[in-house]
Structure 1
């Protein structure tokens, strides 16, 4: 199949991704000094950042979930906040609260930790569903409404939430509601490092934490500029249809009781633009859609309880079944 199928016609102005790659590569290299042996996880993390999405990191304790989020926050010269989710956490502890000022005799709004560029929600499934819901508006609309007043959040705005797998911790955890899971653009699992990376980690952490040596390598302005350019990356009509066909397949397969939403289709195409840019391209290939299908779709799906098939396995099967487009 000709490459011209995906790069667009003469009327399409080039995005010029060469200028945007340098800051992205600097961020990736900085994170790799802290997180070793996980290049694809780091790439997905950067993809979500540049696609203006939110990331859910799910895995067992001790594999570097929080470290990855902290490394991204330090690599970008931006505001970073952390919320330790606990059962007694209140929605106002996240969004902020209006406090009465005695001298001025008026209410004063005190912003919560959500008013930052990168918000790390540690062990998000330990908070009650009511508190988890405090993130719904800010994750979808980039704003917070408190006491009838709506306040915009800074850009870029990204929530990175960590949680241990629900099947490993039952007591004291609350499964994320479907509406909350659907607002995360992607979910990744760290996995255990290979023996070579784990040996290197022992040496790297012997005297100090590599995180202490990490300094910002890019700015908020550069990140926003990258985001704006990525929005203009070309997606051929056939690629858009391919993404829609994959999402539609999740709604019709008997292996799932709940398929992906229209928001999932939008997230899949947006993420594919950023994924292509990180590969040095200003156009999206079917390979980008396939590579992102599991991270973007699997966490939104509910398996058929009678079949007991993991959603990721079902998505991989659908990727193999849905025809790859051959023309735009």
Structure 2
């Protein structure tokens, strides 16, 4: 089972890393496909059995992705056709859209931490669950692609490695040293020790990045803090999806990925982490938190 999990994860990681290195368009397509597959699974987790209704939800998830691309291409067309470079700044309105998902995941983290049994007993209507899934899935795609477009392949690949290394560290540290359950009501397998291992891996990743690029001490410290917090958010993103699966009465979101289950089982932590990391990089880049 572990070998199968490693093989599947390695193939998927290689495809994503290649697309991130290649171009914005490649990454947009690959992450877009994963997002739409995740939308199909989310519709099932929300309680929709009908394939037609699940397909309709996938289409609704696709629409803003297409709309954002068309808006970007339109601004580029205007900028080139009328020699009006400043019009590209209008794409900056997207920056403000990062605030709602960041706040959502912070609130979810505190709720899951403080009232795990309470959130398990919350009964939401199907439509509200669909809106929630649509919201978090579109935000994940949007800000991961935005990260690649504005800050390049290196920062995007760093983010991906950060989240993946945290998952690996949490798994192995938890298995070797785990004694204290992080949230036994939601996910009995996760431990506090595993969480600390994941955060430590995030700090190490940030230090390595800072040394490679010779960041000034203030920027380096910002990245250490951002990486640690991103890992923390990713862990609670994972727990959030565990809540949804428990409410649905299933272990996995799907069966498409051997050894992992569904697409959401593989990308759940990244769904929470990507808008948070993007917001942090934006703040560091603009000098707001330095």
TM tier, smaller? 0.3 to 0.5
What is the TM-score when the length of structure 1 is the normalising length?
0.30
More helix by share: 2
Bigger-Rg structure (1/2): 1
More strand by share: 1
